[in-house]
Amino acid sequence: MRFRSIVTFAFCVAALSCSVQLLAEDNAKSVARWEPVIAAFEKEDKESAPMPGGVVFYGSSSARLWNLKVSFPDLQTVNRGFGGSDMAAAAHYYDRVVPPNRPRVVVLYEGDNDLANGHTACQILTDFDNLIARHKQALPDAKLICLSVKYSPSRAKLRLDQEAVNALLKARCNRDPQLMFVDLASTLLDEQGEPQEKYFRPDMLHLNQEGYAQWNAKLSPVLEQVFQTK
């Protein structure tokens, strides 16, 4: 009960801070370091455009390192993860990276690096709203699935902030039928609610094959259900 109370308090504090009206800003200088990888994505799409109606995985290294062909062999998937990115960068580059693939579903993983870089839950939610606006304008019929921020051993000190961000992202997605929040973070926890090291690479931050297997088992039926819904 005490843990739940702490989490609830963290959520309330984050939610209160988000009541302040903030404008999302695209800081070209802060996202410029990803320009080469974004340009490579654009080149790839022009040279070999994928068939429309698939799934684009988008976001930071947790998306980039996901072996999609092995994980989802029956789905048409495109990996557009770029390591080290945050929600602001994902929003900034969204129009150039995601819509050209004409997906039916976009799976987003962001928020992990934001917190590590000192961003607040309010900032992350504001950047997420910016990304949502771009998604709705470019792909009004595509589902956007937002994945929870994982709880990794190397970032244990950020646990309460991660809990707060996940609660806010979930609440935001629940307000819009085009959005969906999927909690994959809990699939990596033990009975005490702590992340299990066996699911992580030696850096204790990124998932290993066994960790992704846990995520695949949770996400696969969700994607199947989305594609069955007309």
Residue 44's CATH number: 3.40.50.1110
**In the chain, % of residues over pLDDT 70:** 87
Length of the chain in terms of residues written: 230
- Residue ranges making up the domain that contains 8: 2-22+29-228
pLDDT, tens only, 15-26: 545 544 444 344
pTM over 0.85: yes
Looking at the structure of the chain, the number of domains it has is 1
Task: Tell me the two tokens of residue 141.
Answer: 């019929």
DSSP letter for each residue of 142-202:
SEEEEEPPP--GGGGGGHHHHHHHHHHHHHHHHT-TTEEEE--GGGGB-TTS-B-GGGB-T
pLDDT, tens only, 126-135: 999 999 999 9
